[in-house]
C-alpha cells in the first residue's frame, strides 16, 4: 500500500483533497471509515490532545493500524493540534502516521524552534524504524476550538503572508503547512468565512509543500473547490461531526426514552455522521 505521503502526492496530482475527520469515539470512527470505504478514498482520522486522551493513544493506533493492514485500506492517524514537543513526541512514539505541532500562539521564533525540534525527532525515528512520519505546522491565525461561535473572532482577518510561509518551511523542514487563508476553527452563527484562493496558490507556489486547510466546518462548497484547485491537499472537518453527533443523539434519546442498549441508541448517530462525511468526501474527491 502507498504511504500517506504518497497518497497526498496523488491527491495533489489529481487536484482532489484527502478528508481529515476528528473523532472522540468508536461510533464516529465507524461512520468515517464506512464512508471512506464506500467511496473508496483515502482518509485521515484526527485526534486533538483532548480527543487523544479520551480515546487512548494505544487504542487509536491499534485500531487504525489493524484496519489499514488487515483490511488493506488507506486510513491514517494524525495527532492533530499538539501544543508541545513532548506531546508530539509521545504521539510519534505511539505510532501515529503524522503529527501537527501547533505553535500558532507562540512567537515566530519559538514556533520555528519547537517545530524544527519535532521535525528532527520525526526524522530520527524514521531513520531508526523506517516509518515515514509526516510533520505539519501552523502559521497564522485560524482561531481555536471546534465549536459554535457567535461571530468571526477578532483577528481572523490576519492571513499568512507567502514570504513568511516560505521562510517558515525553509527554516523548519516541515512536510506540510497549515496556513491561515480565511477559514476559522468552528462554525460561525452569523456569516461564513471565505477562502482566499489566490493566497492559497501563492503560498503553494513559494513553499512547494502540501497545504492543509483547517476549520473546514461550515464553509461553502465553492470555497472548498476553489481551495482545492489552488493547492489544498488535506481538509479538516470536526465541528460538523460534533454537531451531527449531538443532534442525532438528543433525538434518538427523545424518540426512544426506554431504550438502554447503547448500540441501538447510537445507530442513528452513526448514520447522521455518515451523511456529513459522505457529502464532504464526495466534494473533496470530486465524486459528484
Ligand atoms: O483540526 C481540526 C479542524 O481544523 C476542524 O475545524 O471544527 O472548523 O471543522 P472545524
Ligand atoms: Zn485544525
* Residue whose CA lies nearest to ligand 1 atom number 2: 236
Topology of 4-240 in CATH? Answer: TIM Barrel (3.20.20)
Unique residue bearing C-alpha cell 452569523? 190
- Bigger pLDDT: 102 vs 155: 102
HEC readout, the chain: CCCHHHHHHHHHHHCCCEEEEECCCHHHHHHHHHHHHHHCCCEEEEECHHHHHHHCHHHHHHHHHHHHHHCCCCEEEEEEEECCHHHHHHHHHHCCCEEEECCCCCCHHHHHHHHHHHHHHHHHHHHHHCCCCEEEEEECCCCCCCCEECCCCCCCCCCCCHHHHHHHHHHHCCCEEEECCCCCCCEECCCCCCCCHHHHHHHHHHHCCCEEECCCCCCCHHHHHHHHHHCEEEEEECHHHHHHHHHHHHHHHHHCCCCCCHHHHCHHHHHHHHHHHHHHHHHHCCCC
Query: Hey, where are the domains in the chain?
Result: 4-240
Give the chain's length.
288
Which three three-digit cell numbers place residue 265? 441508541
Tell me what pLDDT residue 2 has.
Answer: 97
Tell me what pLDDT residue 283 has.
Answer: 98
The three-point CA angle 89-19-78 to 5° equals 10
| Residue of 49, 81, 239 to mutate, ligand 1, most atoms within 8 A of C-beta | 239
For residue 142, the CA-to-ligand 1 centroid distance in Å is 9
Ligand 1 site, residue 185, Cβ cutoff 6 A: yes
The pLDDT tens digits for 15-68 are 999 999 999 999 999 999 999 999 999 999 999 999 999 999 999 999 999 999
Q: Is the pLDDT of residue 154 over 80?
A: no
| Residue of 32, 98, 214 to mutate, ligand 1, most atoms within 8 A of C-beta | 214
Point out the ligand nearest to the CA of residue 49: 1
Atom of ligand 1 nearest to the CA of 100: 1
Residues noted as catalytic:
80
* Residue whose CA lies nearest to ligand 1 atom number 6: 215
Distance of alpha carbon 172 from alpha carbon 68, whole angstroms: 30
* Residue whose CA lies nearest to ligand 1 atom number 10: 215
The pLDDT tens digits for 57-109 are 999 999 999 999 999 999 999 999 999 999 999 999 999 999 999 999 999 99
* Residue whose CA lies nearest to ligand 1 atom number 4: 214
0.95 exceeded by pTM: yes
For residue 235, the CA-to-ligand 2 centroid distance in Å is 9
In order of 54, 175, 209, 218, 227, the CA distances from 43 in angstroms are: 21, 18, 19, 20, 18
The pLDDT tens digits for 234-261 are 999 999 999 999 999 999 999 999 999 9
Ligand 1 site, residue 197, Cβ cutoff 6 A: no
Residues ≥6 apart with Cβ < 8 Å to 85: 101, 114, 117, 118, 121
| Residue of 237, 242, 243 to mutate, ligand 1, most atoms within 8 A of C-beta | 237
Amino acid at each position: 500500500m502507498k504511504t500517506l505521503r504518497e497518497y497526498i502526492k496523488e491527491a495533489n496530482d489529481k487536484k482532489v483533497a484527502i478528508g481529515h475527520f476528528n473523532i472522540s469515539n468508536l461510533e464516529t470512527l465507524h461512520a468515517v471509515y464506512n464512508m471512506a470505504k464506500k467511496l473508496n478514498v483515502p482518509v485521515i482520522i484526527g485526534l486533538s490532545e483532548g480527543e487523544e486522551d479520551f480515546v487512548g493513544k494505544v487504542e487509536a493506533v491499534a485500531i487504525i493500524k489493524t484496519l489499514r493492514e488487515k483490511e488493506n485500506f488507506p486510513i491514517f492517524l494524525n495527532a492533530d493540534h499538539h501544543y508541545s514537543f513532548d506531546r508530539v513526541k509521545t504521539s510519534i512514539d505511539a505510532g501515529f502516521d503524522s503529527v501537527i505541532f501547533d505553535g500558532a500562539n507562540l512567537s515566530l521564533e519559538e514556533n520555528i524552534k519547537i517545530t524544527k525540534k519535532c521535525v528532527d525527532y520525526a526524522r530520527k525515528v524514521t531513520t531508526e524504524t523506517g516509518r515515514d512520519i509526516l510533520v505539519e505546522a501552523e502559521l497564522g491565525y485560524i482561531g481555536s476550538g471546534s465549536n459554535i461561535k457567535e461571530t468571526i473572532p477578532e483577528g481572523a482577518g490576519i492571513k499568512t503572508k507567502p514570504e513568511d510561509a516560505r521562510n517558515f518551511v525553509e527554516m523548519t523542514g516541515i512536510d506540510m503547512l497549515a496556513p491561515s487563508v480565511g477559514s476559522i476553527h468552528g462554525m460561525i452563527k452569523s456569516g461564513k468565512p471565505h477562502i482566499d484562493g489566490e493566497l492559497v496558490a501563492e503560498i503553494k507556489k513559494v513553499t512547494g509543500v502540501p497545504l492543509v486547510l483547517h476549520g473546514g466546518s461550515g464553509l461553502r462548497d465553492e470555497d472548498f473547490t476553489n481551495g482545492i484547485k489552488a493547492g489544498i491537499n488535506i481538509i479538516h472537518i470536526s465541528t460538523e461531526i460534533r454537531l451531527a453527533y449531538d443532534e442525532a443523539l438528543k433525538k434518538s434519546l427523545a424518540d426512544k426514552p426506554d431504550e438502554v442498549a447503547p448500540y441501538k441508541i447510537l445507530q442513528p448517530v452513526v448514520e447522521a455522521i455518515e451523511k456529513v462525511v459522505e457529502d464532504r468526501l464526495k466534494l473533496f474527491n470530486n465524486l459528484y
